[in-house]
Amino acid sequence: MIQNDDIHGKILYEDNQHKFIWLGSESQYRKGAVQTMQYLIIDNGRGVLLDPGGVHLFSRVVTAVSRFISVDKIDTIFFSHQDPDVSSGIALWLGITNAKVYISELWVRFLPHFGIVDTNRMIGIPDKGMDIKLPSGALMKCVPSHFMHSPGQFGLFDEKSRILFTSDIGAAVFGENDETLFVEDFDAHIPFIKGFHMRYMASNKIVRRWVDAVRRLNPAMLAPQHGAVYKDETVGKFLDWMANLQCGTDFIDTLF
């Protein structure tokens, strides 16, 4: 279970210039809706918000962000892909910040359907990825994660903290009393992730390519948008498990 001390957020990495923050639990909102997690990077006093979520989460996420930084100091919003649980609150966020929004160039033209009229603040991420420079000079890398599960999906690797935000990769589907902040026992965690990854990841070929790219980054943590954070030995265990996962089109004959 999420501990009471953590429900309002937890700093996953911190130094004099830089923080990477998990923005707390939204368990009270998730009846009938998928559980999501949001993250905030603070660098030299400026903010980067990762997958801030849908309209119904807006007030909670604003409150969570405000515990760590003034909302008007958010300069960047990163959307890993187009799903409504990721990005449907975009019009509200653009209304209270001057942030630039980064999303796959595949999805820029879909954002107006969430109420965006002016797309001048939208920056399309090219398929091969790109770097985003922070005020301190540190870099965030947009990591291609296409077809896992969206055809235009990116993770975000924060070089300073060595935390990789993985979007839906690593996601867990918890029961009512199973939610934890960190994956403590990977083998016990597999039942929470197996069904989701088998159906939503495109194929083992795609997964292996992603795993190889992530291993080159050597992340200290994997922070997914759903479920729990991987750290220490669970990072390697998850990557090993993913590399051998049969998923998606590997089972196409069972679907139709």
Here the CATH number for the domain that contains residue 237 is: 3.60.15.10
Q: pLDDT tens per residue, the chain (256 residues)?
A: 455 455 678 999 999 999 999 998 765 545 555 678 899 999 999 999 999 988 888 888 999 999 999 999 999 999 998 877 777 788 888 889 999 999 999 988 887 777 776 788 999 999 999 999 999 999 999 999 999 989 999 999 999 999 999 999 999 988 777 788 999 999 999 999 999 999 999 999 999 999 999 999 999 999 999 889 999 999 999 999 999 999 999 988 887 7
Q: Report the distance separating Cα 50 and Cα 28, nearest Å.
A: 21
Report the number of distinct structural domains present in the chain.
1
Q: How many residues does the chain have?
A: 256
Q: Kindly list the distances between the CA atom of residue 101 and the CA atoms of 36, 78, 174, in Å, as whole numbers in the listed order.
A: 19, 6, 30
Secondary structure of 181-223 in the HEC alphabet?
CECCCHHHHHHHHHHHHHHHECCHHHHHHHHHHHHHHCCCEEE
Identify whether 1 is part of a domain.
no
User: Is residue 18 in a domain?
Assistant: yes
Examine residue 159 and state whether it is found in any structural domain, yes or no. Answer: yes
Tell whether 106 is covered by a domain.
yes
Is residue 4 in some structural domain? no
Residue 54 resides in a domain = yes
Domain membership flag for residue 153: yes
Domain containing 249 equals 10-254
In a domain? residue 146: yes
The single residue listed with the structure tokens 């902040």 is: 181
